[in-house]
Structure 1
């Protein structure tokens, strides 16, 4: 079996603010499946999407409560093409209402920076050069 698409569903307080936040970071929106209850952010054309749903709409998909306050349900990692892109996305996120998750980490072969988005979801943004991965 081979998965051809992935949709990550996350609850948010304000769909319009979320849409504006992610477009400022350089991501596109699939308007065809977005409305006042949800916005679909395209992370990778034709394969990876994040559905940001109002908390009320999100609740229709699960009988479990939406986490409130300072809880972490999931940390999402996205890989970009360079260290510069990583810092650009994180810095833009911070300028637009996100907060720093942890300080950047440089492992030589992998660089990571991270943020909490305005709704408190954790995003690890990485660049990895597997040709530089230590063999010992």
Structure 2
């Protein structure tokens, strides 16, 4: 079966999320934006991540959302070509209002950093050796 897969994440403030991911340079998913949703395309294959207002997502899921202050729901990984690109991501994330909880460093044969968006959704930026 061939299927399109995307992610749906809950956010407290859709406009804040829209501004954050726009500042990081991600492309908006045209035609999918609303007061309840910010949607962006990630990577060469245009993986879609929808950032829904929390109440809207809970209603659609018919359940509660993860408490990101106590754990992770998922961590997305974005590839980088150079160490400088990783370092630049860390600066851009801070400037856009995110938090770098693992600064750029060498580890397990890679160079990378990790950050959280304003709602606590986590991402790695990794350059493989």
Q: Tell me the CA shift for residue 105 of structure 1.
A: 2.8
Question: What is the aligned partner in structure 1 of residue 42 from structure 2?
Answer: 43
Cα displacement string for residues 59-96 of structure 1 (whole angstroms, at most 9, x for unaligned residues): 12312312336122222212133222222122111122
Which has a greater percent of strand?
2
The structure-2 alpha-carbon separation of the partners of 1:90 and 1:103, relative to structure 1 and needing over 3 Å to count, comes to closer
Q: Cα RMSD between the aligned structures?
A: 2.0
CA contact (8 A) 2:86 2:104 kept: no
Cα displacement string for residues 31-75 of structure 1 (whole angstroms, at most 9, x for unaligned residues): 311111111111025531111111011112312312336122222
Q: Where does the alignment leave 5 or more consecutive residues of structure 1 unmatched?
A: 130-136
Q: Tell me the CA shift for residue 109 of structure 1.
A: 4.4
SS in 1 for 2:73: coil
Q: Does 1:105 align with 2:93?
A: no
Question: What is the aligned partner in structure 2 of residue 127 from structure 1?
Answer: 127
Question: What is the aligned partner in structure 2 of residue 34 from structure 1?
Answer: 33
**Normalised by the size of structure 2, how large is the TM-score?**
0.85
**Normalised by the size of structure 1, how large is the TM-score?**
0.81
Question: What is the aligned partner in structure 1 of residue 94 from structure 2?
Answer: 94
Larger gyration radius, structure 1 or structure 2: 1
Aligned length: 128
The whole-number CA distance in structure 1 between the counterparts of 2:115 and 2:35 is 25
The whole-number CA distance in structure 2 between the counterparts of 1:22 and 1:92 is 10
The whole-number CA distance in structure 2 between the counterparts of 1:2 and 1:107 is 35
